[in-house]
Amino acid sequence: MAIVLLTAPAAWAGPVIVDDLGQRVELAAPARRVIPLYSGLGEIVSAMGLGERLVARTNVDNWPTEALARPSIGTHMRPNMELMLGLKPDLVLQLAGRDAALQSVEAVRNHDIPVAVFVIDDFASLFTAMERIGILLGAEDAARQETARIQARLAAVDKAVEGVQRPSVFFEVRYPNLLAAGKDSMVSEIIRRAGGENVVAQGKKLVRLSEEVLVGLNPEVYLVQQGPMNPAPPHPSGRSHFRTLAAVRSGRVLMVDEALYSRPGPRSVQAVEELATFLHPDRFPKPSSNKDSK
């Protein structure tokens, strides 16, 4: 996707960007009262050191811990408009996704509140979103610095996993009614950057699969997310149809935090580091605990 960053024309003093829906977003001044309708976007603002500008959260926001002190305005796709208006935001941030999420965008715009919508499905799109959010907040330097920190951490993982044999990885989004992460997801990007290969080839973010298809894929590594989308998943070793999977037979099963893996944002790099260490422990030796003899 071609991203266009605009500088404000002479007649317009405030920050201006074009979001990922192609909409021009103009502010009279850098935003000071921001409502993120998606957790990862709020985490971007916090990572820039501007968490005090966030005036609300969704009901699943849990990081940083200070977010829990903010009033909840409902869900990512169905925010409470009355509560939002009462908080007087000068900018709303949203992640593009299902139609319901975009319907909430139109409702906000109908109240003359600027909204910026982003599509984030890999680190490249994360960095361009961070850059434009930095412009809207008048914090371009902070955005660049945070991007550089993440890029440096990714580069360290890239170097560590260079030349590795990549195991096939399955990422469970939900069980039962099995739902997997597809190729067009941030999860798939995390798997790739960690030195693995997503065993699900479909070019979608989410893919419905039968257990029979999963058995046929026979992944070498099985990841199970835990969070609102998959609140109490049993371990795959306790599921009768899963016991034949190579991942289960070899014990290469990892239970992971949904907030790290399935919410694109600055902490996605932490997921890469965690998964790379699990997939290739020989490339990430633990520091020695031996003390120098006296």
What is residue 24's three-state secondary structure? strand
H-assigned helices in 161-230: 186-193, 211-217
Query: For position 291, what pLDDT does the model report?
Result: 53
Q: How confident is the model at residue 288 (pLDDT cuts 50, 70, 90)?
A: low
Q: How confident is the model at residue 287 (pLDDT cuts 50, 70, 90)?
A: confident
Q: Round the average pLDDT of the chain to a whole number and report it.
A: 93
Q: How confident is the model at residue 104 (pLDDT cuts 50, 70, 90)?
A: confident
H-assigned helices in the chain: 39-47, 81-86, 99-109, 123-136, 140-160, 186-193, 211-217, 246-250, 258-261, 268-279
Q: How confident is the model at residue 13 (pLDDT cuts 50, 70, 90)?
A: confident
Query: For position 113, what pLDDT does the model report?
Result: 96
Percent of the chain with pLDDT over 70: 94
Cα distance between residue 20 and residue 118, in whole Å: 5
Cα distance between residue 140 and residue 135, in whole Å: 5
Cα distance between residue 47 and residue 129, in whole Å: 13
Place of tokens 């149809």: 241
Query: For position 294, what pLDDT does the model report?
Result: 40
When pLDDT is averaged across residues 111-129 and rounded to a whole number, the result is: 97
Q: How confident is the model at residue 100 (pLDDT cuts 50, 70, 90)?
A: confident
Percent of the chain with pLDDT over 90: 85
Query: For position 3, what pLDDT does the model report?
Result: 57
Cα distance between residue 289 and residue 110, in whole Å: 60
Asked whether the beta carbons of 94 and 115 are under 8 A apart, the reply is: yes
Query: For position 199, what pLDDT does the model report?
Result: 98
Query: For position 162, what pLDDT does the model report?
Result: 98
When pLDDT is averaged across residues 234-253 and rounded to a whole number, the result is: 96
Place of tokens 């790739």: 192
Asked whether the beta carbons of 200 and 182 are under 8 A apart, the reply is: yes
Residue 52's contacts (CB-CB under 8 Å, 6 or more residues apart) are none
Which pTM does this prediction carry? 0.92
Cα distance between residue 276 and residue 192, in whole Å: 9
Query: For position 102, what pLDDT does the model report?
Result: 87
Asked whether the beta carbons of 88 and 75 are under 8 A apart, the reply is: no
Query: For position 125, what pLDDT does the model report?
Result: 98
Closest to 278 (Cα-Cα) out of 249, 247, 242? 247
Q: Is 78 exposed, middle or buried (0-12, 13-18, 19+ CB in 10 A)?
A: middle
Q: How confident is the model at residue 198 (pLDDT cuts 50, 70, 90)?
A: very high
Q: Which of 11-25, 127-141, 143-157, 256-270 has the lowest mean pLDDT?
A: 11-25
Query: For position 26, what pLDDT does the model report?
Result: 97
Question: Which secondary-structure segment (H or E) carries 197?
Answer: strand 197-198
